């Protein structure tokens, strides 16, 4: 029984994901056209001088300013584990393909994405932030304490390429902990 039911559930789940993704785009496009329900009216630049961008060059020129800025996609749509885990997670190729089966055909960077989807190879995103391995940083504790992503990562939704906006030094962690009355006990951050 369960052997037959499982693939069906998977198909339904996949369809729901595509539906939700397309609905997001539809809403964003509609909001743009009517200029309603938009908090801001941020429009990502069409041409960017890639040579002048901060942060590491990525294997695909994925742009937060288009997705999270102009189309106002929720960070959690892609960084799905940020409320429940130390590590926020990165989106799988399938998450991107929910839209890019259709959207952006003809764009050479989207073509790279579609190629990855066909080959089944994961995309090797280059790490932007990296704490030393002897430091523990639980994302969920911070996000659930209602510290915004931007307080630590800067205005990612306006970045064409992500770069490290804060120092991530011990003094940076400690000054916020002191400011908010959070523990500065060495052992909470160090293994």
Burial class of residue 104 (count of CB atoms within 10 Å of its CB; 0-12, 13-18, 19+): middle
Whichever of 6 and 87 has its CB closer to ligand HEC, that residue is: 87
Contact 147, 110 (CB under 8 A): no
Candidate list 42, 81, 142, 158; residue touching ligand HEC; CB under 6 A: 142
Q: Name the minimum Å distance from CB 1 to ligand HEC.
A: 34
| Residue 10 binds ligand HEC, judged by CB under 6 A | no
Candidate list 127, 158, 178, 191; residue touching ligand HEC; CB under 6 A: 127
| Residue 147 binds ligand HEC, judged by CB under 6 A | yes
Q: Name the minimum Å distance from CB 11 to ligand HEC.
A: 19
* Segment (H or E) for 175: helix 170-179
| Residue 109 binds ligand HEC, judged by CB under 6 A | yes
Q: Which span sits near ligand HEC by CB under 6 A: 7-15, 31-39, 140-148?
A: 140-148
| Residue 138 binds ligand HEC, judged by CB under 6 A | yes
Instruction: Count how many residues are written for the chain.
Output: 191
Contact 88, 162 (CB under 8 A): no
Contact set for ligand HEC, span 41-100 (CB under 6 A): 58, 60-64, 66-68, 71, 73, 75, 77-79, 82, 87-88, 90-91, 95-96, 98-100
- φ/ψ region of 176 (left if φ > 0, alpha if ψ in -120 to 50, else beta) reads alpha
Candidate list 143, 158, 178, 191; residue touching ligand HEC; CB under 6 A: 143
Angle among Cα 185, 188, 191 to the nearest 5 degrees reads 120
| Residue 116 binds ligand HEC, judged by CB under 6 A | no
| Residue 165 binds ligand HEC, judged by CB under 6 A | no
């Amino acid at each position: 029984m369960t052997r037959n039911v499982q693939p069906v559930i998977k198909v339904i789940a996949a369809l729901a994901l595509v539906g939700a993704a397309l609905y997001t785009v539809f809403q964003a496009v509609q909001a743009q056209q009517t200029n309603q329900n938009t908090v801001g009216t941020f429009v990502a630049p069409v041409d960017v001088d890639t040579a002048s961008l901060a942060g590491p060059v990525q294997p695909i020129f994925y742009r937060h300013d288009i997705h999270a800025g102009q189309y106002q996609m929720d960070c959690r749509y892609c960084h799905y584990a940020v409320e429940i885990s130390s590590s926020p997670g990165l989106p799988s190729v399938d998450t991107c393909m929910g839209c890019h089966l259709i959207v952006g055909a003809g764009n050479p960077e989207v073509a790279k994405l579609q190629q990855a989807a066909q080959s089944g190879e994961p995309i090797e995103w280059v790490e932007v932030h990296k704490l030393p391995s002897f430091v523990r940083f639980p994302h969920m504790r911070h996000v659930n304490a209602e510290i915004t992503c931007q307080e630590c990562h800067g205005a990612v939704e306006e970045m064409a390429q992500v770069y490290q906006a804060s120092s991530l030094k011990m003094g940076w962690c400690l000054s916020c902990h002191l400011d908010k009355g959070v523990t500065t006990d060495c052992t909470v951050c160090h293994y």
